[in-house]
């Protein structure tokens, strides 16, 4: 099943690739007991495809939901070039104590039930055209509970024909049984994957996880969980031909999607004092979590100040980053969460924080006015040059892949008179 990504032959194919991968499988199985993740012996379980069928099967009855999901980041959790390249780097790392399934706990959480099939999960990713879903319908809708005492919080699956969700009065059907759980309208359902900061980095300097203290925010206390923004309700049919009712959106808007424009409010004031001018920017985060979520390789919001003088020529530019910078065991910067051992810098916008940034710059000369432009942007993927080059090589669209796209959050402009 292809979702618009390249299917060109990769370096794992051919005789050399097969021999090398066979060796890797042996090493993995030797380093990780086959049932260290799975909750029961494989002999007593159904085949993977029976317990976690493809979302394509759900499409037969839930076309709207499927089309929303297919456009989401969740549907691409194991097919993106950055994930594939990062997984390669993780598998090649020399840490003998590493959890070989770590990357899949969020990118393909059914590994928690089928840990003995880890080599297959790896093969699927390396194929560039996996037949299994990473985060599909059953990977979410078979979760019966979440253990919040573990780090990261751990989902508890109930495998069978019972499908869980957040709505009652499900229409009877021959495909599955339906059960409403309040869990599906609670933020703790989402934190199983979205608060997965490496434990070493989480405890460093007493820093909280990816989300920050979300439980104590105004949004959470007022009954607005993650789903209220990232799965906004609409009136539509849940299953094909069903009577319209309230339904949850499954495109999961975030970095891409309308919700990003509602994440912050932006305002600024200017002061011209002779040869020097100042812009004071007020940024108010409206979200009940850190902004951005500090996944090491993706986590930058850029505050960009641009000043345009005579003939709209840019005469000044300054950028500041909202990010959390991680350090490896040697204390050097790293964008790989499996290498993160400490926090070197943290400028993230905290949940619902108001922050003021002051910029001072030379007043444009020989211009009747200046244009001030302040922009907030999600930065593209960043990291070591060899990593970025590999991602570009692996991505079907090269540098045009969405991983390399900056995404504007909001922008404000003002023309300021300099002299009468």
The partner residues of 312 in beta bridges, in order of sequence, read none
Domain-wise residue ranges, the chain: 14-190+225-248, 258-417
Contact (Cβ atoms closer than 8 angstroms) between residue 70 and residue 56: no
Mind listing the pLDDT tens digit of every residue in the chain (420 residues)? 334 333 333 333 333 333 333 333 333 333 333 334 444 555 568 999 999 999 999 999 999 999 999 999 999 999 999 999 999 999 998 776 778 888 999 999 999 999 999 999 999 999 999 999 999 999 999 999 999 888 778 999 999 989 999 988 888 887 899 999 999 999 999 988 887 655 554 555 454 578 888 999 999 999 999 999 999 998 998 888 888 889 999 999 887 777 787 899 999 999 999 999 999 999 999 999 999 987 766 789 999 999 999 999 999 999 999 999 988 889 999 999 888 888 899 999 999 999 999 999 999 998 999 999 999 999 999 999 999 999 999 999 999 999 999 999 999 999 999 976
CATH assignment of 258-417, among 2.40.30.10, 3.30.420.10, 2.60.40.2360, 3.40.630.30: 2.60.40.2360
Q: How far is CA 185 from CA 190, 224, 266, 340, in A?
A: 10, 9, 30, 32
Long-range CB pairs of 317-325, under 8 A, 24+ apart, other chains included: 318/359, 318/361, 320/347, 320/357, 321/347, 321/379, 322/291, 322/292, 322/347, 322/348, 322/349, 323/292, 323/294, 323/299, 323/347, 323/348, 324/207, 324/290, 324/294, 324/296, 324/299, 324/348
pLDDT at 341: 83
pLDDT at 238: 86
Rg (CA), the chain: 24
Contact (Cβ atoms closer than 8 angstroms) between residue 156 and residue 145: yes
Distance CA 171, CA 242 (A): 8
Contact (Cβ atoms closer than 8 angstroms) between residue 304 and residue 360: no
Contact (Cβ atoms closer than 8 angstroms) between residue 225 and residue 185: yes
- pTM score: 0.83
pLDDT at 202: 52
The 3-state secondary structure of 183-195 reads HHHCHHHCHHHHC
pLDDT at 157: 96
Q: Is the dihedral of CA 137, 143, 148, 154 positive or negative?
A: negative
Long-range CB pairs of 379-388, under 8 A, 24+ apart, other chains included: 379/300, 379/301, 379/302, 379/321, 379/406, 380/404, 380/405, 380/406, 381/82, 381/297, 381/298, 382/297, 382/300, 382/335, 383/297, 383/335, 383/336, 384/335, 387/85, 387/86, 387/89, 387/335
Q: Which helix (H) or strand (E) holds 69?
A: helix 63-70
CB atoms inside a 10 Å sphere around CB 266: 16
| Closest residue by Cα to residue 83 from 315, 365, 297, 263 | 297
pLDDT at 21: 34
């Amino acid at each position: 099943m292809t979702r618009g990504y390249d299917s060109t032959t990769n370096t794992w194919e051919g005789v050399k690739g097969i021999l090398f991968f066979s060796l890797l499988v042996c090493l993995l199985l030797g380093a990780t007991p086959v049932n260290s993740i799975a909750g029961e012996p494989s002999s007593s379980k159904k085949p993977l495809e029976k317990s976690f069928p493809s979302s394509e099967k759900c499409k037969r009855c839930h076309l709207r939901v499927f089309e929303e999901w297919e456009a989401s980041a969740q549907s691409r959790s194991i097919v993106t070039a950055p994930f594939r390249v990062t997984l390669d780097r993780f598998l090649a790392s020399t840490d003998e104590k590493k959890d070989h399934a770590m990357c899949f706990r969020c990118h393909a959480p059914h590994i928690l039930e089928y840990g003995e099939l880890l080599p297959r999960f790896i093969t699927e990713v390396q194929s560039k055209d996996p037949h299994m879903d990473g985060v599909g319908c059953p990977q979410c809708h078979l979760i019966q509970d979440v253990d919040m005492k573990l780090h990261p919080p751990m989902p508890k699956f109930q495998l069978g024909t019972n499908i869980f969700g957040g709505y009652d009065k499900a229409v009877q059907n021959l495909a599955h049984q339906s059960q409403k759980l309040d869990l599906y309208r609670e933020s703790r359902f989402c934190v199983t994957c979205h608060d997965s900061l490496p434990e070493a980095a989480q405890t460093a300097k007493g820093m909280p996880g990816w989300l920050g203290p979300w439980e104590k925010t105004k949004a959470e206390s007022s009954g607005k969980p993650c789903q209220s923004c990232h799965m906004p309700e609409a009136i539509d049919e849940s299953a094909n031909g069903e009577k319209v009712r309230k339904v949850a959106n499954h495109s999961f808007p975030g970095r891409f999607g309308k919700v990003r424009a509602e994440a912050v409010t932006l305002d600024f004031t200017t002061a011209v004092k002779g040869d020097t001018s100042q812009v004071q920017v007020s940024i108010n985060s409206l979200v009940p979590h850190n902004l951005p979520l500090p996944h090491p390789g993706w986590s930058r919001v850029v505050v960009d100040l641009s000043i345009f003088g005579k003939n709209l020529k840019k005469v000044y530019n300054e950028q500041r980053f909202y990010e959390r910078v991680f350090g490896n065991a040697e204390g050097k910067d790293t964008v790989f969460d499996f290498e993160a051992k400490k926090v070197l810098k943290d400028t993230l916008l905290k949940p619902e924080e108001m922050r003021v940034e002051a910029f001072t710059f030379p007043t444009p000369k020989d211009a009747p006015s200046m244009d001030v432009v302040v922009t907030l942007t999600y930065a593209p993927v960043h990291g070591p040059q060899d990593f970025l080059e590999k991602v570009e090589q692996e991505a079907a669209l090269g540098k045009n892949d969405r991983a390399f796209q900056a995404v504007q959050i909001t922008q404000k402009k003002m023309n300021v008179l300099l002299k009468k």
